[in-house]
Amino acid sequence: MARWTLLLAACALVASCEADRPAWQYGFAVMGTEVRVIIAGAETRDPTPHFAAVEARLAQIGRDFYAWADGELAELNTALAEGRSFQASADMAGLLAQAQNLSRLSGGAFDPGIGALVELWGFHQPRPGVAGTPPADDEIAVLLEGCIGIARISLRSSQVASDCRGPLIDLGGIAKGFAVDEAMSLLRARGIANAMIDAGGDLRAMGRNGRRAWRVGIQDPRGDGVLGSIALASGEAAFTSGDYARYFTHEGTRYAHVIDPATGYPVTHTAGVTVLGGRGIAADAASTALMVAGPEQWRSMAERLGTRAVLRVDAEGSVDMTRIFGGRLEPVPATVD
Ligand code: AMP
Ligand code: MG
């Protein structure tokens, strides 16, 4: 099972910080990720229907928002590839509009219209790089000159069209953010005010865990240790992109699943980026964009994206962070009280 993030240990810390009734926890696999739903102990006597509702909604998102599943996004991609327009659901149209906007703000570093490149590199498969070899330079060049990029689609009254045959839309860089936001809204609508959704280390907190804030640990992507922990405010999301979850190694080079849309090659300068933000969608897109940004650009790009709490680890394992992230990072609590 691929872990997509460097934010781990969430539940270990969540559990250790529980000073009241133990939180309810439920886990299931969806979107290639181990998801955990945690509801503060005092919220309910029977969490089962809440867990079931979240699981059903996330399974639906897994079908409809993954390009290589058999739901709405697959249908949309087929229509665009055949030169037809597509009448999208309100959810799909909304997410595409946000994705287009975030892509523009990132100067194209985040681009969910590069599914053809993701496929060429083999990162659409659950276990990427089966062949274990990178594609040829000219195959990449052909794709870069072809119908590629989210800017090639237009959206009018939820009607999606393109000025070329394609592009292949891959919402994998933002779908977990959408899923986590949806799960939170669903729980809120069901009367739950204190919960945490952890999608393989990409997570969002709501309310508190008993008397304390929900707290997550930040794992060092190049070591065994934990860099620190963060107490999340209510509604806050913590998302991570990294090079250590989906990758393959060929002749000593690591090729990981975040691709620089400008070059068509996987990012090699960055091991991981963690972003704190008010919404899962924005934090998810930003963490992917900042993975691509590189050592010179990541701070200015973070500002353009409106993300102020960012931690970046480069390929050699050096850690850098914004002042605001540094102010939030605390030592991991050593004992359970
Ligand atoms: P994340 O873990 O959120 O950074 O998402 C990575 C996934 O997003 C990859 O597995 C691809 O499906 C897709 N992806 C890769 N590169 C990009 C990019 N530059 N912009 C948007 N999505 C990307
Ligand atoms: Mg992302």
Phi first, then psi: give them for residue 113, nearest 5 degrees.
-105, 25
pLDDT at residue 221 in the model: 81
Say whether 237 sits in a helix, a strand or coil: strand
How many Å lie between the centroid of ligand 1 and the Cα of residue 90?
Answer: 23
pLDDT at residue 331 in the model: 85
Q: Which of 201, 190, 165, 233 is nearest to 51 (CA)?
A: 190
pLDDT at residue 245 in the model: 77
pLDDT in tens, 232-242: 999 999 999 98
> Quick one: what percent of the chain has pLDDT higher than 70?
91
pLDDT over 60 (residue 99): yes
Q: Is 284 in the pocket of ligand 1 (CB under 6 A)?
A: yes
> Quick one: what percent of the chain has pLDDT higher than 90?
80
Which whole-number Å values give the CA distances from 157 to 16, 89, 90, 101, 154, in the listed order? 48, 10, 9, 16, 10
Q: Is 110 in the pocket of ligand 1 (CB under 6 A)?
A: yes
Instruction: Kindly indicate the confidence band of residue 128, based on its pLDDT and cuts at 50, 70 and 90.
Output: low
Q: Is 123 in the pocket of ligand 1 (CB under 6 A)?
A: yes
13 class by beta-carbon count within 10 Å (0-12 exposed, 13-18 middle, 19+ buried): buried
Q: Where is average pLDDT lowest: 119-133, 140-154, 248-262, 272-286? A: 119-133
- Token pair for residue 133? 């070899």
| Mean per-residue pLDDT over the chain, rounded | 91
Alpha helices by DSSP H, listed for the chain, are: 10-16, 48-64, 72-81, 90-105, 115-121, 137-145, 175-189, 280-293, 298-304, 323-328
Average pLDDT over residues 272-278: 96
Instruction: Kindly indicate the confidence band of residue 248, based on its pLDDT and cuts at 50, 70 and 90.
Output: confident
CB 250 within 8 A of CB 14: no
pLDDT in tens, 51-85: 999 999 999 999 999 999 999 999 999 999 999 99
* Atom of ligand 1 lying closest to residue 246 CA: 10
* Atom of ligand 1 lying closest to residue 109 CA: 19
pLDDT at residue 142 in the model: 98
Q: Is 292 in the pocket of ligand 1 (CB under 6 A)?
A: yes
pLDDT in tens, 182-194: 999 999 999 999 9
Question: How many DSSP H helices and E strands does the chain contain?
Answer: 10, 15
- Token pair for residue 25? 């926890």
Residue keyed to tokens 């290639």: 32
How many Å lie between the centroid of ligand 2 and the Cα of residue 42?
Answer: 32
CB 298 within 8 A of CB 323: no
- Shortest-distance Cα residue to atom 1 of ligand 1: 173
How many Å lie between the centroid of ligand 2 and the Cα of residue 66?
Answer: 13
Q: Is 118 in the pocket of ligand 1 (CB under 6 A)?
A: yes
Determine if the peptide bond prior to 167 is cis (ω within 30°): yes
Phi first, then psi: give them for residue 141, nearest 5 degrees.
-60, -40
Q: Rounded distance, CA 318 to CA 300, Å?
A: 19
pLDDT at residue 31 in the model: 87
Task: Give every CB contact of residue 215 below 8 A, 6+ residues apart in sequence.
Answer: 13, 14, 17, 209, 229, 230, 231, 232, 333
Task: Tell which phi-psi region holds residue 10, choosing left (phi > 0), alpha (psi between -120 and 50) or beta.
Answer: alpha
How many Å lie between the centroid of ligand 1 and the Cα of residue 28?
Answer: 22
Q: Which of 106, 171, 258 to mutate to test the pocket of ligand 1 (most atoms within 8 A of CB)?
A: 258
How many Å lie between the centroid of ligand 1 and the Cα of residue 172?
Answer: 6
What domains appear along the chain, each with residue ranges and CATH number? 68-173 (1.10.3980.10)
How many Å lie between the centroid of ligand 2 and the Cα of residue 110?
Answer: 9
Residue 217 β-bridge partners: 229
CB 121 within 8 A of CB 237: no
- Shortest-distance Cα residue to atom 22 of ligand 1: 173
Residue 203 β-bridge partners: 198, 238
pLDDT over 90 (residue 179): yes
